[in-house]
Amino acid sequence: MKRKLRMGMVGGGKDAFIGAVHRIAANMDGKIELVCGAFSINPAVNKESAEELFIPQDRCYANFEEMITKERELPEGERMDFLTIVTPNFVHYAPAKMALENGFNVVIEKPMTISLEEAISLKEAVERTGKTLCLTHTYSGYPLVKQAKAMVQEGYFGKIRKIVVEYPQGWLSQLTEREGNAGAAWRTDPKKSGRSLAMGDIGTHAAHLAEYVTGLKIQEVCADLTSFVEGRTLDDDGSVLLRFENGAKGVLMASQISAGEENALRIRIYGEKGGLEWANEDPNNLIIKMTGQPRQLFRTGNAYQAPFTLSSFATHNTRIPAGHPEGLLESFANIYRNFALTVSAKLEGRAPTAEELDFPNVDDGVRGMAFIETVVNNNESNEKWTKFVL
């Protein structure tokens, strides 16, 4: 590919949280440039954000409809290649569908939509248009998460029996949505967030991580959701028992009222011969626990010798020598880089490699929405187990 990919953005203005992280991640490898945006629902903030990002006035659009329509009219050598959608959940589906149908690739935040129906419709649009959709399940970009996946895949631990994944946060322990916290306000509003708060916002990250690392699909759930903070209707805490497709069992916890916690996502996986442990707050360590052996510690970026060699997926997603910490921004950038490599390969008429295709896609988005549906349905019913709705 002889040029950078051109990126447009909806949401992510000065009034937003995650949009800036996307821009850093997209910039990290020099393969992408931001060329246009509709950055905020507030026109003044939209304009100021564009100015701060050195986006020319004629590429700062009033809304995503205008952006997609006008970008499409530009010459091929100028128009954006893909649209990044970093708006609240209820403003994901419409821009994604319109972008795909107008010939643009899409990067979209999780949860992919606010309903399973919308998610299925997006999958249909991706298949019909042949465009690429990347879903930013941030934590699957870490090198040692990829190493864990490779070791599970090669049978290092034997048949997988038990998966324990937890994502406790504390930032919604109080009624912050009434104290001017815009991010909390839309997340706790079912019309803007969808049927779930904690399970949608962070439970989907945990479920994706469990399925990504083990390669096993969740088949049934038994859920207990609670809205602890008075004045809130959606769940701010939940525990879910999981049944996976090969008979493996799991426990998933997602909580935003775990007071004092930051982003303590952690996964433990146990097979017949041993297990592994990885945590977001210590992402350059992968602990391996094998029966009858001392504990082993895999570290990011080392040139280990066989049989401990780091997988090609781990090394492909590592940028700097061992001991220099790589973190969330790099993990996020890995998702962007693999997406960009895939889109570039398609533009060049080349088949992307397995490493390049290694980013969450529309199928993961549909499974995420099915996870929310199934968990909420189970919680609202009296049945003990509910089959995954897909």
Q: Which stretches of the chain bind ligand NAD, using CB under 6 A?
A: 10-13, 15-19, 38, 40-42, 63-64, 86-89, 91, 109-110, 136, 138, 182-183, 186, 201
* Among candidate residues 227, 223, 224, the one with its CA nearest the CA of residue 172: 227
**Alpha helix stretches (DSSP H) within the chain:** 18-27, 43-52, 64-73, 93-101, 116-129, 143-153, 182-187, 190-193, 198, 204-214, 312-316, 328-348, 362-380
Smallest gap from residue 189 Cβ to ligand NAD (A): 11
Task: Tell me how far, at minimum, the Cβ of 155 lies from ligand NAD, in Å.
Answer: 31
Task: CB nearer to ligand NAD: give 60 or 248.
Answer: 60
> 139 vs 270, which CB is nearer to ligand NAD?
139
Q: How far apart are CA 376 and CA 359, in angstroms?
A: 27
User: Do 256 and 170 contact (CB within 8 A), yes or no?
Assistant: yes
Distance in Å, CB of 109 to ligand NAD, minimum = 3
Is the distance from CB of 89 to CB of 194 less than 8 angstroms? yes
Query: Considering the complex, what minimum distance in angstroms separates the CB of residue 171 from ligand NAD?
Result: 11
Q: What does residue 214 show for φ and ψ, rounded to 5 degrees?
A: -85, -20
Number of helices followed by number of strands (H, E) in the chain: 13, 14
For ligand NAD, the closer CB: 90 or 157:
90
Dihedral angle sign, alpha carbons of residues 120, 123, 129, 132 = positive
> Judged by CB, which is closer to ligand NAD: 31, or 110?
110
CB 66 → ligand NAD: shortest distance, Å? 11
Q: Please, which residue, 80 or 160, has the CB nearer to ligand NAD?
A: 80
Residue 58 DSSP symbol: G
The answer to whether the CB of 46 falls within 8 A of the CB of 1 is no
Query: Which amino acid is present at 215?
Result: G
Q: How crowded is residue 178: how many other Cβ atoms within 10 Å of its Cβ?
A: 12
To ligand NAD, the closest distance from the beta carbon of 315 in angstroms equals 24
11 vs 274 by CB, closer to ligand NAD: 11
Q: What is the closest distance, in whole angstroms, from the C-beta atom of residue 58 to ligand NAD in the complex?
A: 18
Instruction: Give the separation between CA 201 and CA 231, rounded to whole angstroms.
Output: 19
The answer to whether 387 and 245 are in contact (CB under 8 A) is no
Instruction: Give 95-132 as a DSSP string.
Output: HHHHHHHTT-EEEEPSS--SSHHHHHHHHHHHHHH---
User: Residue 2 Cβ, how far from ligand NAD at the closest point, in Å?
Assistant: 31
Q: What crossing angle do the helices spanning 362-380 and 116-129 adopt, rounded to 10°?
A: 160
Minimum CB distance to ligand NAD smaller for 64 or for 270: 64
Q: How far is the CB of 317 from ligand NAD (least distance, A)?
A: 17
State the minimum distance, in angstroms, from the CB of residue 95 to ligand NAD: 8
Instruction: Assess whether the previous peptide bond of 143 is cis (omega < 30° from 0).
Output: no
12, 38 Cβ separation under 8 angstroms:
no
Closest CA to 10 of 84, 109, 96, 115: 84
